[in-house]
A and B are shown apart, each in its own frame.
Chain A
């Protein structure tokens, strides 16, 4: 089973500072880490590999120093690493990033599943995973908290699988995944044919620590590099040019003012509260 994991190198926000003048992140001197949600994606991929065999390819798009993140992912059990890096990608928004990643994934070749963290802790959009699935034209299951089952053809589909839903799933040879998808109320159980893309939440596993052999391999591994010219991509869809998002303004929302506390017996203040609600708020 071939698995592709998309990761992002982000500033370590546990000790990030905000410039009080410009209200932006102070990036200098801030350590870079693998986006924490992507750590769960790497772990899940490595667990799938350990169960089904195959290869885990780690992909990231970023500046040259994002190579460090790839090497760390290798030390955690990844097999191959691809760095998508080019000045032409600078200024990519989530649309252009998704497009570029999808083009790179097509270049990497055949895969059964793409795994992403649910979102990155710097942008917090949660759009790139779904975007990649859309550009690849494959199904997606977001916010996965548990992979219940994966059939990659070696075992027959369970009795009644897909009954009354999508007819072709009833074929015993179909490759599919069944996953629990976290929602605000609980979870959905979603089935999808493979290949597909999933994004994962932190409930899915507990990432392992790097191993010594993994670290040694990470140090030596050759990182495959992809530039704009290596992708069969429309140049107008890359980087700033390919990014429809316009950032109009960045600001810190004003702090919430403290509420008003009414004191006294309930029967005395009820009327006052009603008046206040009528007058000021409603």
Chain B
């Protein structure tokens, strides 16, 4: 389908595609098996100017937005949904600065991220605060010209590898979500340590670690927005970043389908390619249609965000929900179409199924997405 991309968007897509096919594909299985963080690929992305495609030119980027981000994430994810995350999760960690940062904060942090010198990460989730993000227990106590952070963030993508972290902590736990604030924390600040590296089902080349704060002093200049705004910072960030997760899901699904079509043409049973069997053809057709529908939803949502529309929570949730459910369904079917070989680690397809699963869980489980969508529907009806 022709999505009427601009020339620059086509360039971005082509560069990301070339990196994915020539550089990521050959290492994806090894990095998955051994849990290797893809610094070599990050360097290639940086040299190709991909790291700044969603950052304004005056901060060292190339001035694109969410659309550019999703185009690149999709292409990278076709080759590996884990490796692409070093890039996509940096966007998640950077959006709070783009959306709420002061001029000084932007000047300080965005150029190095745009050049790919530094990765970023976002820290909200805790052991006791996942979907219930208001229940965070990490505290930030104001003392003179700084805040003192205490607590532990869990399952933080790019944890340990990133230099810049946006962390949500509570300045007043009695206020619940309204007591939260967002802070920019740099790797190496005293009292900021990393916990264990998680052993995951999929996206294994992505680093997922705890962030442990023990009397960590943060200069007050590193507060994003205002005290009490932390929850809003998180929610607005997710509005921007959910199409990114959705595009990761679309990429994983498309990558799996591409491999499956190729395999089905080669695999012979009953003296014929299995791609000649109508029952299996119908599965392919359904998968291709669902992926295209997911892509169309993701692109529409990305464009809506880039147009400056702020009422995007529902659409953003729909894109993330639909694309990730499609990715899961498609990858399960792709493993099925590979038959016994699909279940073997010697073949690349089972990895896609493992990688797809997380897209239904993180950045808000798909059940939370449904709640967001339904709440908006009900509110919209009430206001009519």
Residues of A within 8 A of B (CB): 208-216, 219
Contact = CB atoms under 8 A, between A and B. Distances in A.
Interface stretch (B47-55, B254-262, B295-303): B47-55
Contact of A209 (B7, B12, B22, B53): B22
Contacts of B50: 212
Nearest to B53: A212
A190 to B, nearest CB: 31
Closest 10 CB pairs of A and B: A212-B49, A215-B11, A211-B49, A211-B48, A213-B49, A209-B48, A209-B18, A212-B62, A212-B11, A208-B47
Greatest chain B CB density within 10 A among A208, A209, A214, A219 is at A209
Interface of B: 7-8, 11-12, 14-15, 18-19, 22-23, 44, 47-50, 53, 62
B22 A212 contact: no
A210 B62 contact: no
Contacts of A215: 11, 14-15
B15 A209 contact: yes
A72 to B, nearest CB: 11
A208 B22 CA distance: 11
Given A215-B15, A216-B8, A219-B7, A209 B49 contact: no
A209 B50 CA distance: 12
B7 A211 contact: no
Secondary structure class of chain A's binding surface, majority of residues:
helix
A177 to B, nearest CB: 26
Contacts of A211: 15, 47-49
B47 A213 contact: no
10 contacts: A208-B44, A209-B22, A209-B23, A209-B48, A210-B48, A211-B15, A212-B12, A212-B53, A216-B8, A216-B11
A211 B12 CA distance: 9
A213 B15 contact: no
A71 B156 CA distance: 42
A72 B18 CA distance: 14
Contacts of A212: 8, 11-12, 15, 48-50, 53, 62
Contacts of A209: 15, 18-19, 22-23, 44, 47-48
A214 B11 CA distance: 10
B295 to A, nearest CB: 22
Nearest to B48: A211
B14 to A, nearest CB: 8
A213 B11 CA distance: 10
A210 B53 CA distance: 15
B284 to A, nearest CB: 24
A255 B10 CA distance: 46
Nearest to B12: A212
Contacts of A216: 8, 11
B23 to A, nearest CB: 7
Contacts of A214: 49
Contacts of B15: 209-212, 215
Contacts of B19: 209
A209 B46 CA distance: 11
A99 to B, nearest CB: 36
A231 to B, nearest CB: 34
Contacts of B47: 208-209, 211
A208 B19 CA distance: 10
A67 B50 CA distance: 26
Contacts of A213: 49, 62
B26 to A, nearest CB: 13
Nearest to B72: A212
B110 to A, nearest CB: 17
A208 B12 CA distance: 16
A216 to B, nearest CB: 7
Contacts of A219: 7
Given A211-B15, A211-B48, 18 more contacts: A208-B44, A208-B47, A209-B15, A209-B18, A209-B22, A209-B23, A209-B44, A209-B47, A210-B15, A212-B15, A212-B48, A212-B50, A212-B53, A213-B49, A213-B62, A215-B11, A216-B11, A219-B7
Greatest chain B CB density within 10 A among A208, A211, A212, A216 is at A212
Contacts of B62: 212-213
